[in-house]
Chains A and B, each alone.
Chain A
Amino acid sequence: MSDVTATDITTTSAAALGEALRAGELSSVEVTRAYLDRIAATDETIGAYLHVDAEAAVESAEAIDAARARGEELGPLAGVPLALKDVVVTEGVPTTSGSKILEGWRPPYDATLAARLKAAGTVLLGKTNMDEFAMGSSTENSAYRVTRNPWDTDRIPGGSSGGSSAAVAAGLAPWAIGTDTGGSIRQPAAVTGLVGHKPTYGSVSRYGLIAFSSSLDQAGPMTRTVLDAALLHEAIAGHDPLDSTSIDAPVPVLAEAARRGAGGDLAGLRVGVVTELGGEGHTDGYEPGVLARVAEAVALLEGMGAEVRQVSCPAFDLALPAYYLIAPSEASSNLARFDGVRYGLRVGDDGSRDLDEVMALTREQGFGPEVKRRIILGTYALSSGYYEAYYGQAQKVRTLITRNFTTAWDDVDVLVSPTSPTVAWSIGARVDDPIAMYAADLCTLPASLAGIPAISVPCGLSEGLPVGFQIMAPALADDRCYRVAAALEAAQDAARGRALLTGIGSKENAPS
C-alpha cells in the first residue's frame, strides 16, 4: 500500500494519479474509493452529481487493477476516475441532460467520447449536474438540484457544466468532461478556479452529446491543471466517422505543448488583448477585480517574453445577440424530438387526449422555463418572414466575427480576455433576469461562434473568488492555448508557492 492519504488522492492532479497508478503506488480501487467516499460525505452539500453508481465504479476499477496485475499494456489514463456531464450519452447509465423530460432514460449506446474514455480505462464515477439541455450559466436551470460553488456554497458554480466544475473543484472527481456551446466549459471553470478548454469545433466528436446548438457544441476537459486538460483532451479528440462535422486530421499534440509551456519561455509569442472584451471603453459589466487579475496575468505573460498589443474586434459587440438567435434556433429544432413518443416522459395520455395535446402537455411539463423560452425564441427566429432578419442575419454577423479573428491572426498568435466579466454570483441573483444571465457569456461567445479553440485558466482571486483568464487561438491551434495557459499557471503557482485550488474554502485568501 502507498503512503498517499485519501486527501492527497482527492486533491492531486489526474496526471499524478495516473503516474502513481502506473508505478503501482496506488490501485485504481483505492483512488476510486477515495473519491466515492468523498462524494458520499460532501456531495449532499455540493450537489455536483445527478447519478453515481459506486458499485459499477469499483467494479471497473477492479477490472483495471486486475488487467494491470496481469501485465496488460494499459494507457496513461487507465484506472483514473472521471466524471461526465450528464449531456454525454452513456450506455445503460441514466442520461438526462438535466431535464425531467429524460428522467429514467437509459441509453442503448455510448457517445463516441464516452466509448473512447472507457477504452482508455478510465473509471466512470458518475454523471454531473447541468443547466437543463446546457441552457444557462449557473446550473440553476437543472430540473434536479442546486449545485454549489465549493469556494462559497452560497454561490453558483457557473454553467452549464456546473456539476463538472463543482465536482472537480470540490475534490469529487479528479477531472471531468464538460460541453461548451457559448462558454459552458470555460465560464464554470473560471468561477471555480479550474482549467477548462473548448476545443476547435469538429475536433472532438459530437456523436452522443445531447445536442443544444449543433453548430456550436463541443466537448472538452475541465481539470485542476493545464497538463491534465491536455491529457484528457488528447484522449477524446480525433476523427469520428459517426459525426459528419468531425475534422479528419491527426490528434493534436497537446500534453507536449503544455509541458513545453510550463518551462515559461514565451519569447516571440505575440499576444493580443481584445479591446471589446473588458478593454478601454468596454468595461461596463466587468468587475474591477476581474480586470485587475487579467491585467496582472497579461503582465506575467509579458514578463515571460510575450509581445503584447491591443487588438480591436468590433464585431464582438454583436456576438451576444447573434448567439442568442443562433443557439435558440438550433435548439428549438434539436429539442423537437422530445415528443413523448419513443423515450422519456409522457404526460396526459389518459385516453381522453389526442396526440397533439399529449405532446404539448409532455413538453410543457418536461421542460423548464429557460428551455421553453429559448424554444419559443428559436421558433420565432426561424419562422418564415422572420428568418432573414433574425437567424439569417445572425449567421452573417457570425461571419463578421470570424473575419475579425482572421484579421487578428495576421498580427498575433493568441488573443486574450477575461473568461467571465464577473466572479461567481450568489445563487438566485439572476434567475428572473435572462438578460443578466446571458451577460455572463459575453467573453466566451466570440470563440464559440467562430469555432476556434479557447481555454480558461485561473489567474487569481477577486474578493476571495477565482477569476478566469481566456486564451483564444486559431482553428486547430489548440496547442497554443495549452502552451500559454501552462506558462501562466506555472508562473502563478511559483509566485504563490502553491496551486490556487489549495486555497479553496478559505475566503480570507489574499488575491495573488
Chain B
Amino acid sequence: MSTPSPKGQLTRDEVAHLAHLSRLAVSDEELDLFAGQLAAVLDAVAQVGKADVADVPPTTHAVPMTNVMRPDAVRPSLPRDVVLDGAPAAEDDRFRVPRILGEEA
C-alpha cells in the first residue's frame, strides 16, 4: 500500500488488508460485499480530487483555538472495583487478556 490505486478502486485483497489493520475478522462473503460497496463509495468520495485546492490550508478544527491547557493538579481517580467492573476478564486487580503474539512491550 505505497501508491494509491487508480480512480479509487479497492481490490478484494486491499479490503482484506484494511480489515486486518482494523482488527475486523471479516468473512469471505463480507469481503466480496464490502469490496463492491466500498468501490462505489470510493468512486463517490474520490470527487474531492476535483477541487482546486492549491494553497488552500486544511481545516482540522471548525472553530480555531490554541493553547487550551489545564493546570497540573491531581484529581481523584475512579475506585478500582468500578474500573474493573466492566472488564470482560480481570485477574489480580488487572485487566486480563489472551496471550499476546508479537512485539515484546
Contact = CB atoms under 8 A, between A and B. Distances in A.
B62 A375 contact: no
Contacts of B26: 364, 372
Interface in A252-290: none
Interface stretch (A32-40, A53-61, A378-386): A378-386
B39 to A, nearest CB: 11
Contact of B58 (A332, A357, A361, A396): A396
B61 A245 contact: yes
A346 B88 contact: yes
B45 interface: yes
B60 A215 contact: yes
A349 B100 CA distance: 12
Nearest to A109: B78
Interface string B69-96: 0100000001000110111110000010
Contact of B82 (A108, A325, A450): A108
A438 B99 CA distance: 40
A355 interface: yes
B34 A215 contact: no
B88 A344 contact: yes
State the main secondary structure of chain A at its contact with B: helix
A217 to B, nearest CB: 11
Interface in A316-359: 318, 320-322, 324-325, 332, 336, 339-346, 349, 351, 353-359
Contact of A393 (B15, B30, B49): B49
| B3, B45, B57: residue with the most chain A Cβ atoms closer than 10 Å | B45
Chain A interface extent, by class:
35 or more
B77 to A, nearest CB: 11
A451 interface: yes
A244 B68 contact: yes
A293 interface: no
B23 A356 contact: yes
Contacts of B68: 244-245
B65 A247 contact: yes
B38 A373 contact: yes
A372 B23 contact: no
| B3, B48, B70: residue with the most chain A Cβ atoms closer than 10 Å | B48
Nearest to B45: A321
| B3, B61, B78, B83: residue with the most chain A Cβ atoms closer than 10 Å | B61
Contacts of A359: 23
A321 B95 contact: no
B51 A400 contact: yes
B61 A354 contact: no
Given A341-B88, A396-B56, A396-B57, A241 B70 contact: yes
B10 A380 contact: yes
B100 A355 contact: yes
A392 interface: yes
B57 A434 contact: no
Given A201-B62, A349-B89, 20 more contacts: A215-B62, A321-B48, A340-B88, A342-B95, A346-B88, A351-B98, A354-B99, A354-B100, A360-B20, A369-B30, A372-B34, A373-B38, A376-B19, A385-B1, A385-B2, A402-B59, A434-B37, A435-B41, A450-B62, A451-B62
18 contacts: A321-B48, A342-B87, A354-B98, A354-B101, A364-B24, A364-B26, A372-B30, A376-B19, A379-B21, A379-B22, A383-B21, A385-B2, A389-B49, A394-B45, A396-B59, A402-B59, A451-B61, A451-B62
Interface of A: 105-106, 108-109, 200-202, 215-216, 241, 244-245, 247, 315, 318, 320-322, 324-325, 332, 336, 339-346, 349, 351, 353-361, 363-364, 367, 369, 372-373, 375-377, 379-381, 383-386, 389-390, 392-400, 402, 434-435, 438, 449-452, 475
